[in-house]
Structure 1
Amino acid sequence: MIELKSTLTCPECGHKVTNTMPTDACQYFFDCPGCGALLKPLPGDCCVYCSYGTVPCPPVQEDAGCCNTKET
């Protein structure tokens, strides 16, 4: 069963927020409501949930890899 709730922790200020992850796309950016930092995935991760969340994104949970994201 896929877990859709994940708690993101900002690496800048430690603020935590629980969100429902999208199932049809990766979330590449996230604005921290605590300090305003723009979070982006760490190298090798496809989305902010895989980098800063308590639960990885749904495609990773399904062992399907993640969305095909590339930096331009």
Structure 2
Amino acid sequence: MADIVLDSVITCPVCGGRSSERMPTDACQYFYECPHCNVVLRPKTGDCCVFCSYGSVPCPPVQSPSPPSCCRTT
């Protein structure tokens, strides 16, 4: 089993700015303010958090072998 990655690069769909961020391990992050253009990002429909929608790596719960029901993809 691979280790869970805690760092992800979020790419803003509005301005294209990229920022490396540490993901929370105990919760999904529903909002993220782009430090480049200040737009507030929200998860895309069907994603549990902004890291799953805009990050280079999905959130830690999704990376786990048994993600919680709120983080399971269809």
TM-score scaled by length of structure 2? 0.86
Point out 4+ residue stretches in structure 1 off by more than 3 angstroms: 66-69
> 1:54 maps to which residue?
56
SS at match of 2:44: coil
- Is the CA contact 1:46–1:66 (under 8 Å) kept in the aligned structure 2? no
| Most deviating of 40-49 and 55-64 | 55-64
Deviation at 1:64, TM superposition (A): 2.7
Deviation at 1:15, TM superposition (A): 0.4
- For 2:42 and 2:17, the matched residues in 1 are separated by 15
SS at match of 1:18: strand
Tell me how many residue pairs correspond in the alignment: 69
Please tell me the residue identity of whatever aligns with 1:36: N
SS at match of 1:50: helix
Tell me the alpha carbon deviations over residues 8-52 of structure 1, each in whole angstroms, 9 at most, x when there is no partner. Answer: 000000000001100001100000011111100000000000000
Deviation at 1:65, TM superposition (A): 2.8
Q: Please, which runs of 5 or more residues in structure 2 have no aligned partner?
A: none
